[in-house]
Amino acid sequence: MRKAIIIEDEKPAARRLKRIVEEHGFEVIEMLHSVNQAVEWFENNKHPDLIFLDIQLADGLSFDIFDNVDIKSPIIFTTAYDHYALKAFKHNSIDYLLKPIDEDELAASIKKYNSLNSNDIGLEISKLKTLLFESKSYKERFSIFLGSSIKILEVVDIELIYSNDRATYAFTQHSKNLLMEGSLEQVFEQLNPKQFFKVNRKFVINFNGIAEIIAYSNSRLQIKMKNYKEEEIVVSRERVKDFKDWIN
């Protein structure tokens, strides 16, 4: 029997989803409720045939899971928020369902999964990513508030973006701590992924700002930037493969 897991922080919703999924021929082998639980589970278990994944979990956005674990399983996202759709389709998504989950829509999503073999799933995900990247326009500049004045920050001038104490800052050659509006994830979503890469939970770097890449412990990589020297930047182990693909 095909295996599935459900990652959902609302337990009644998780139980209802489990019932529906099992009616369609899957064995739900685990129900997880947080980012940390999911990371630990994926690190210690064989990944399932299909994942049902809520986006907003008790301890953060489920996208944080992908910064820690390399997940190959196809995913059906279940969420109350439609503005995460683009982000979802970057992470092995074959469908995106809005809450409250309609049983007919869920059945259609599972039927879609059933119609795909492993090669088809990879191709489907690849096609969706290509279409999304080609259709989306990315930020060329941000407005930064400095006291009572507004500074225009050109994206090409940003060497890196980092989070600190729940705030997000841009670093340029001439300005170190420019406070930006939104979380690191929200800012990253507005940048061209061909130019910017999220190396870990704290840093997003500009390809043009890289000075040196150094082998680091536990199969990780350390990044030396041209101007930023304040803190060590290390590509998380789970992101190393994607980073190597990105720089090539």
Name the residue with higher pLDDT: 36 or 88.
Answer: 36
What is the model's pLDDT at position 132?
44
Integer CA distances (angstroms), 69 to 59, 66, 91, 170, 181, in order: 16, 5, 12, 27, 28
Helix or strand (DSSP H, E) at 103: helix 103-114
Q: Using one digit for the tens of pLDDT, what is the confidence trace for 106-152?
A: 999 998 888 875 555 555 545 545 544 454 578 899 999 887 888 89
| β-bridge mates for residue 164, sequence order | 167
Copy the structure tokens of residue 123.
């191709």
Q: Using one digit for the tens of pLDDT, what is the confidence trace for 227-238?
A: 999 999 999 888
Burial of 100 (0-12, 13-18, 19+ CB in 10 A): exposed
What is the model's pLDDT at position 135?
46
Q: What's the mean per-residue pLDDT of the chain? A: 85
Q: Using one digit for the tens of pLDDT, what is the confidence trace for 9-21?
A: 999 999 999 999 9
Angle between helices 11-23 and 103-114 (to 10 degrees): 50
Report the amino acid identity of residue 189: E
Name the residue with higher pLDDT: 199 or 82.
Answer: 199
| β-bridge mates for residue 144, sequence order | 151
Helix or strand (DSSP H, E) at 41: helix 35-44
As annotated, the residues of the chain forming the CATH 2.40.50.1020 domain(s) are 141-247
Q: Which fold has domain 141-247?
A: OB fold (Dihydrolipoamide Acetyltransferase, E2P) (2.40.50)
Which residue in this structure is represented by tokens 């049983």? 103
CATH number of 2-135: 3.40.50.2300
As annotated, the residues of the chain forming the CATH 3.40.50.2300 domain(s) are 2-135
Report how far residue 162's alpha carbon sits from residue 154's, in angstroms, rounded to the nearest whole number. 16
What is the model's pLDDT at position 136?
58
* Residue in 85, 86, 97, 94 with CA at minimum distance from that of residue 118: 94
Copy the structure tokens of residue 62.
């489920």
Mean pLDDT of 81-110: 75
Residue 25 DSSP SS3: coil
